[in-house]
Amino acid sequence: MADKLIIVESPAKANTIKKFLGGSTKVVASMGHIRDLPKSKLGVDIENDFEPEYINIRGKGDLIKSLKKEASKAKKIYLATDPDREGEAIAWHLAHILNDDKNKIVRVTFNEITKGAVKKAIQEPRTIDINLVDAQQARRVLDRIVGYKISPLLWKKVRRGLSAGRVQSVAVKLIVDREEEIEKFIPEEYWNLFVDLEDEKSKKQFEAKFYGKDNKKQEIHNKEEIDEILKNIERAKYIVKEVKKGEKKRNAAPPFTTSTMQQEASRKLGFTLKKTMSIAQMLYEGIKIEGKGTVGLITYMRTDSTRISEEARKTAKEHIVATYGEEYYENRYYKTSKDSQDAHEAIRPTYADLEPDSIKSSLTKDQYKLYKLIYNRFMASQMASAIYNTMSVTIDANNYTFKANGQNLKFKGFMTLYVESEENKEEEKGMLPDLEENQEVKKIKINPKQSFTEPPPRYTEASLVKALEEKGIGRPSTYSPTITTILERHYIEKEQKQLVPTELGKVVNKLLIDNFTDIINVEFTAKIENEFDEIAEGKEPWKKMIREFYGPFKKELDKVEKDLEHVELEDEVSDIPCEKCGRMMVYKYGRYGKFLACPGYPECKNTKPIVETIDVPCPSCGGKVIVKKSKRGRKFYVCENNPKSCKYISWNKPKLGEKWDESQLKDIKKPQKNTP
């Protein structure tokens, strides 16, 4: 008989914990949730004050029997699921399923899977925090109501299988709104003026940029304005009016939160959010390290806090001082956002001495990349600032002002280890010559440059996460599943890492925005997130929140159902006749997006894919190149004559003048064709 039974979610986590504990302790896995709302119906009793109708998840019967058997043999049961609201809810459901002596079942949490953290948690058990459970229940029930009540409208008006969701619909709205901004954008002309100058003493050249007139900032809007300036400085002398020398510090970025880790892994490593979270989960739960057994390498990966423990701070200091020297260490504290739950530390390595390169052979390529990113970011966050020597110069040319800046690195500090991807764009400008005030510098060349304003960029996974976080939409655990869902529903697709709304996404977005303006909006979604936080803190009963939401929602839902009862969304008519019956085909939306269908259904069931071509001929035979999509939604390019007389196929868009032959096929794995 085991003295202790510890239940965690995954076998990997169980294996890591086992090695810290004695033989009389049994560690088993629940394999995630064991109870949930049913998939086949709403599962929320509206008439009975929104009571959730939980059922055992299908296929988990044998596991539940096994858990009950182990529980009956144990003197004490420790529910050690993840240290967040979802983990608290899983523990609560486990306690319900086991239905054992209440005093026998306790809850333990740890932010990292290390011997010290696990043993300390077992020595300090607590009861299940019902406030955290209720916050999770409120999210689950509210999202179930929104999804199950609105989705059938999409089935009737667009097509079956579509879904609406409180957070996912707002994410789609952001992407659609951005696309509309881009489409409506009208470029405006502007000019920059640069001049290449030379210090005649050192013969060193440098570039200065036009600032304005009489040291007052001025923008140049058109050619007439630039011509006027060029005329007035044609014979001007360039006199140095002001020289400023100084130092500039650059501070390290804080250790990772979930969203900053996702953003950096996307920008630096090219990882999708889903991939980042999957690998981070492995690093947290434990990896088999040669000579050390299974080791949990990082702290819990769902957090919005930049706080770190004093113990972690101490080990980081020891490592930095020993590796780089005393001058590279700086004791740093980071301010956590006011909206942060701050329940956990930032994401950091659990062991400072486990440097990425020392365990590289035990990790997969992707595990190593992400672990190195997390390790270096954390260590850098406790290191001294980088210091630059700076110099800025103001130059006068016939009352027109030009400015030049230069800098060079004096002390590398934290940049020895890590530089945030967005920080390093203009680090090394190079130092200017040693100029003096009232000195004349020689004009070498004037470079006027015409430019046009550009539309805002499309969202990437990284920038969408940043926008969702800034607007208070969702929480660390929701970003990845939200974006994964809207990609899988084909509401959006990826083009060169950019998120683009599909026609289906635009149609669904318009229907929801036109009819559910009070629910599918940024302010409402952020307000709801704050209410979940209030419930987690015990400040509001969860059913009260659902009651207050449901009244107005039901009224709006009834109105929309009535308004849309006799409304049919008209199919967009194409200019392509049906070859079977002659009717003009219409655009429909299928599992893989837009396709052509005969409007005479069910008499005529003819459908055909939409053939998208590009304006570059096939690099092999000169034929048309067709754009297709793999089952995962990735675009590829194939010759219209493939496979009859031409073998051209490529993941990369062909370029004009590019040559291609069959020998290049060895590097191309032919994707599966896409059907509507």
How far apart CA 120 and CA 118 sit, in angstroms, is: 5
What is the β-pairing status of strands 105-107 and 76-79? Answer: parallel
- Between CA 600 and CA 603, with CA 601 as vertex, the angle to 5 degrees is 80
How far apart CA 450 and CA 193 sit, in angstroms, is: 9
Q: For this structure, is 148 an active site residue?
A: no
- Beta strands per DSSP E along 268-423: 287-289, 293-295, 386-397, 400-411
3-state secondary structure of 188: coil
Name the nearest CA neighbour of 150 among 569, 593, 547, 516: 516
Two tokens, residue 429: 């400008």
Helix axes 166-184, 130-157, angle to 10 degrees: 60
Name the nearest CA neighbour of 444 among 203, 201, 191: 203
DSSP H stretches of helix in 158-297: 166-184, 223-232, 258-264, 273-285
3-state secondary structure of 356: helix
CB neighbour list of residue 65: distance below 8 Å, 6 or more residues apart: none
Q: Per DSSP, what are the bridge partners of residue 44?
A: 52
CA 220 to each of CA 223, 452, 523: distance values in angstroms, whole numbers, following the listed order: 8, 12, 38
How far apart CA 195 and CA 445 sit, in angstroms, is: 6
CB neighbour list of residue 531: distance below 8 Å, 6 or more residues apart: 138, 540, 545
**Does residue 170 contact residue 522 with C-beta atoms inside 8 Å?**
yes
What burial letters (b/e) apply to 598-619, b meaning 16+ CB within 10 Å? bebeeebeebebeeeeeeebbb
Name the nearest CA neighbour of 522 among 459, 587, 468, 573: 468
Peptide bond into 448 cis (omega under 30): no
How far apart CA 261 and CA 280 sit, in angstroms, is: 10
Q: In what order do the strands lie in the sheet with 612-613?
A: 612-613, 625-629, 635-639, 649-650
- Beta strands per DSSP E along 214-252: 216-217, 238-250
How remote is the C-alpha of 356 from its chain's centroid? 24
Q: Per DSSP, what are the bridge partners of residue 590?
A: 593
How remote is the C-alpha of 274 from its chain's centroid? 9
How far apart CA 542 and CA 558 sit, in angstroms, is: 24
Catalytic residue among 238, 284, 300, 329: 300
Supply the DSSP string of 7-22, one letter for each residue. EES-HHHHHHHHTTS-
How far apart CA 286 and CA 464 sit, in angstroms, is: 30
Q: What is the dihedral of CA 503, 508, 514, 515, to 10 degrees?
A: 170
**Does residue 256 contact residue 264 with C-beta atoms inside 8 Å?**
yes
Active site residues: 300
